[in-house]
């Protein structure tokens, strides 16, 4: 069973319906015990970063969510649920995220219509499990005003957007021999960025539209709203859950 975490943000019904369509049972829940017992966990969401973190804390979901992100079970973050995995966000002032994936969430640059809403191409190198059978350049549906800057180790640490103590190297990407063996760093809770795999999108800037690190998968776009390719992606995640990958 897949647990869809309900913290008061996002159209959870559409996510549950999409999993039902691909034959994978899922339950919408605010119960930490159900999250702990689930085979896999999905964190969807729309809205403001800081409000979401506050709601997760208020509902007592943060400990169960962190356990779901320990690398032992498949996990899928969608839209805001993807951004919450990062170290910090500059949305409405600097605030801390779950700090599982090192990096920062920044506002899309001026010059393009904001929010980024509608269909856009996602490019990948064929190395992300979610994209199995999905062509590079396939279109997915986006609705967002902020984007994640993935941290890396290929350049010295620096700061962007006023965020402090965050490595933010937009072009950093590396692939471990077996990314599914990745585990959180015991000191910080963040995953080893060396096992990170990334799919990219262009919208005034090149940004990480999806990531995979170990058993953690996340997308800035909405698979449940992305018609054929989105359904294929959810089928891929359901297969990951079924196979225990």
The residues annotated as belonging to the active site are 79, 222, 224
Q: What are the residues whose beta carbons fall under 8 Å from the beta carbon of 244, sequence distance 6 or more?
A: none
Q: What are the residues whose beta carbons fall under 8 Å from the beta carbon of 227, sequence distance 6 or more?
A: 141
Question: Which residues is 103 bridged to in the sheet?
Answer: 150
Q: What are the residues whose beta carbons fall under 8 Å from the beta carbon of 165, sequence distance 6 or more?
A: 157, 159
Distances, alpha carbon 114 to alpha carbons 50, 96, 161, 225, in Å:
19, 23, 17, 19
List phi, psi (to 5°) of 230.
Answer: -65, -40
State the Cα torsion 26-31-33-34 to the nearest 10°.
-10
Pairing of strands 75-78, 216-219: parallel
């Amino acid at each position: 069973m897949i647990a869809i975490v309900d913290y008061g943000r996002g159209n959870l019904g559409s996510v549950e319906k999409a999993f039902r369509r691909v034959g994978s049972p899922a339950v919408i829940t605010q119960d930490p015990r159900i999250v702990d017992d689930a085979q896999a966990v999905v964190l969807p969401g729309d809205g403001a970063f800081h409000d979401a973190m506050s709601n997760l804390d208020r509902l007592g979901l943060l400990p169960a969510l962190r356990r779901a992100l320990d690398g032992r079970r498949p996990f899928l973050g969608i839209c805001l649920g993807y951004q919450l995995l990062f170290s910090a966000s500059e949305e409405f002032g600097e605030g801390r995220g779950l700090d599982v994936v090192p990096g920062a969430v920044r506002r899309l640059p001026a010059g393009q219509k904001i929010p980024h809403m509608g269909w856009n191409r996602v490019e990948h190198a064929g190395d992300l499990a979610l994209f199995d059978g999905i062509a590079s350049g396939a279109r997915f549906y986006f609705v967002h005003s902020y984007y994640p800057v993935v941290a890396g180790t290929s350049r010295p640490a620096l700061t962007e957007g006023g965020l402090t103590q965050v490595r933010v190297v937009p072009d950093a990407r590396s692939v471990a021999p077996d990314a599914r063996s990745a585990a959180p760093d015991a000191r910080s809770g963040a995953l080893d960025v060396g096992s990170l795999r990334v799919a990219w999108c262009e919208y005034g800037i090149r940004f990480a539209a999806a990531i995979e690190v170990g058993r953690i998968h996340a997308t800035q776009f909405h698979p449940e709203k992305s018609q054929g390719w989105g359904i294929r992606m959810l089928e891929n995640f359901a297969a990951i859950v079924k196979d225990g990958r």
